[in-house]
Structure 1
Amino acid sequence: MAATGVAGVGYQAHDPQGNEKPEATLNDLVASVKATGAIGVVGVLANGPRSAPPSFPQ
């Protein structure tokens, strides 16, 4: 397990079959950093135009 991690990508993450999985980067980062570690997130990128209300994957 890592002590720290930084997420720098996400909205273009995909599974081996090529299906887009925007949550994959953060889910994998959380799973690989120990509970007492730290996670840094560079930014949050939402789908759609900036005027649209945010709709984040569950």
Structure 2
Amino acid sequence: MAYQPDGAQTPDNLRDRAAQALRNTATGLASAGVTFSDVVRLTIYVTDWQTEKSTSSWRASFP
């Protein structure tokens, strides 16, 4: 589940949840003084993958 910084749940769609989860991950990485460019491997588990709805969020986080 992806939560916003204020603790609210992200809207119930894959694109918004994936984007928020990646923002949360970036925040955690930043607190350790690193970025996604320092990540060697990232594993994501999705139970209802819809490529056309999630590709833009993924590409925005990993240019």
Shorter-chain TM-score tier? 0.3 to 0.5
Higher Cα radius of gyration: 1
Taking structure 1 as the reference length, what is the TM-score of the superposition?
A: 0.39
- TM-score, length-normalised on structure 2? 0.38
